[in-house]
Amino acid sequence: MKALMFGWEFPPHILGGLGTASYGLTKGMWENGDMDITFVIPKPWGDEPKDFARIIGANSTPVAWRDVNWDYVEGRIGNVMDPQLYYNLRDHIYGDFNYMSTNDLGCIEFSGRYPENLLEEINNYSIVAGVIARTVDCDIIHSHDWLTYPAGIHAKQVTGKPLVIHVHATDFDRSRGNVNPTVFSIEKDGMNNADHIITVSNLTRRTVIEKYGISPDKVTTVHNAVEPLNEELLNLEAPPGKTSKVITFLGRITMQKGPEYFVEAAAQVLKKVNDAQFVMAGSGDMMDKMIRLAAKRDIADRFHFTGFLKGKQVYEMLAASDVYIMPSVSEPFGISPLEAMQMGVPSIISKQSGCAEILDNVIKIDYWDTNAMADAIYSIIKYPAMFKELRDQGLAEVNQITWDKAGAKVINIYRNLINR
């Protein structure tokens, strides 16, 4: 089965959970066998894994005809794609886009991030999708998150193949209810045009049904999973000088993640416990406010901010942690507690996060219930059996949550659509 996927991020260059999930799912589907996947991203770097999916960069797909020779193409974009594919794509340019700012290869530049002119990039991405859809043969189209819905719709119109959209988050999660009307309309348009909608949790599924008015029989939940960690990361150890217990919040410091509840819980615990340190790792628009809040609660000496962590740093932080906490106000899935569990760190998560639906060996609390949060933290750092049970059972549990199972579910959805 041939699938054409549109995504925005792909490891190793990722900005959030979207890239990790896209990668895991693609690989999981490939492990089920008989899948030929083409994965489109705005801006590949060339070091993406290519063994289970063909990566096409939107920024190396021509939308305007340029007469360039093989060697030139090879030299410019040879590291990200086969020059032959460039010529194939060039043969399928379907309109005159010379009025747009294109480069020497007739391609549109993409930042591949979330820039100020995001809406413009989304639009450009959809233009490029038209070229790709005309070139690459496929049985099904799969769009990851709202940024790529317009591209998916365009590809569907060009090819007539069924469109699956994958809702990794909705604007209701990101904004605590104050949705941006433009984003909402893009999301709603995608959902209306989709033949089937995959959500990452039942929580998101309900949002899609209730807030976007989509028929429930069109929406299926496929929970995310985690990639097994490699030996190097698993063997990371806590720094030798560590004497006190470390409780870690790891993620963007934004309204959606509920950082202020973490600070309040920390203040409670520190009233009773001296040998504990709280870490807020990450960055975001609420960081300064959190620093002020910690100071106001008079716990700044035991409450640390690390700034944005990436790659291995994340795992080093986890290796040094005794408790991981994710008090998200609204989390479509939330993959990071699973990563913490993989590192043997007991996790506390909010009941308002999607991963709470599939995890048993974690502590689940309401995000606003700072008392319960403090109780749970205290219990884990004070009672060794609690720590051990959560660590061991959590590890056993998370090792069962694998992408190939999620991949099989998605393939099943594809089959039903194609055979309809």
Partner 1 sequence: MKAICFYFQIHQPFRLKHYRFFDIGNDHYYYDDFADDDIITRIAQRSYLPANQMLLDMIKENGKKFKVAFSISGTALEQLEQYVPEFIDSMKELAETGCVEFLSETYAHSLSSLYDPDEFVAQVKAHDQKIFQLFGQRPKVFRNTELIYDDDIASMVYAMGFKAAITADAKHVLGWRSPNFLYSSASAPKLKLLLKNGKLSDDIAFRFSNHEWASYPLTADKYIHWIAELPQEEQLVNLFMNYDTLGELQPRESGIFEFMRALPRFAAEHDIQFWTPSEVVAKFKPVANLAVPYPMSWTDAARDTSAWLGNTLQQEAVRKLYSIGERVRLCTDRRIKQDWNYLQGSDHFFYMSTKHNDDGSVHSHYSPYDSPYTAFTNYMNVLSDFMTRVEEQYPASIDNEELNSLLLTIRNQEQEIEKLHREVEMMRNNIVKDTTGDFPVDEEPEPEPAPAEEKQPAPKKKPAVKKAPAKKPAAKKAPAKKAEKPAAKKSAPAKKAVAKKTPAKKK
Residues making contact with partner 1 (CB under 8 A): 268-269, 271-272, 360-361, 363-364, 371, 374-376, 378-379, 382-386, 388-390, 392-393
Closest contact distance (angstroms) between CB of 362 and partner 1 is 8
Taking the complex as a whole, the smallest distance from the CB of residue 210 to partner 1 amounts, in Å, to 25
CB closer to partner 1 out of 207 and 277: 277
Asked if 391 and 15 count as a contact pair (C-beta separation under 8 A), the reply is: no
* Min dist. Cβ of residue 271 to partner 1 (A): 7
Q: How far is the CB of 371 from partner 1 (least distance, A)?
A: 7
Name which of 22 and 268 has its Cβ closer to partner 1.
Answer: 268
Give least dist CB 332 to partner 1, A: 23
Query: Whose Cβ is closer to partner 1: residue 56's or residue 374's?
Result: 374
Smaller CB distance to partner 1: residue 357 or 389? Answer: 389
Cβ closer to partner 1: 14 or 386?
386
φ, ψ for residue 176 (rounded to 5)? Answer: 50, 35
Least separation, in Å, of the C-beta of 243 and partner 1? 21
Question: Which parts of 15-123 are beta strand (E)?
Answer: 36-41, 54-57
Within 8 A by CB and 6+ apart from 287, the residues are 253, 280, 305
CA-based end-to-end distance of the chain: 15
Amino acid identity, position 210: E
* CB of 360 vs partner 1, minimal distance in Å: 7
Residue spans of beta strands (DSSP E) within 111-183: 140-144, 163-167
Pair 394, 348: CB distance under 8 Å:
no
Contacts of 72 (CB under 8 A, 6+ apart): none
d(C-alpha 105, C-alpha 103), whole Å? 5
Q: State both tokens at 354.
A: 């999607």
Q: What's the min distance (Å) between Cβ of 363 and partner 1? A: 5
Report residue 311 as tokens.
């790659």
Greatest CA separation for the chain: 72
- Using the minimum distance from each CB to partner 1, give the nearer residue, 39 or 387: 387
Least distance in angstroms from the C-beta of 300 to partner 1: 22
CB-based contacts of 244, cutoff 8 Å, min separation 6: 275, 276, 277
The rounded distance, in Å, linking the Cα atoms of 332 and 216 is: 17
Specify the residue, 123 or 371, whose C-beta has the smaller distance to partner 1: 371
**Residue placing its CB nearer to partner 1 in the complex, 271 or 415:** 271
Q: What is the three-class DSSP state of 347?
A: strand
What is the per-residue DSSP string for 360-379? -SSEEE-TT-HHHHHHHHHH
User: Is-contact 17 335, C-beta < 8 A?
Assistant: yes
Percent helix, strand, coil in the chain (nearest 5)? Answer: 45, 15, 35
Our CB check for partner 1 shows the closer of 186 and 359 to be 359
Q: How far apart are CA 6 and CA 29, in angstroms?
A: 15
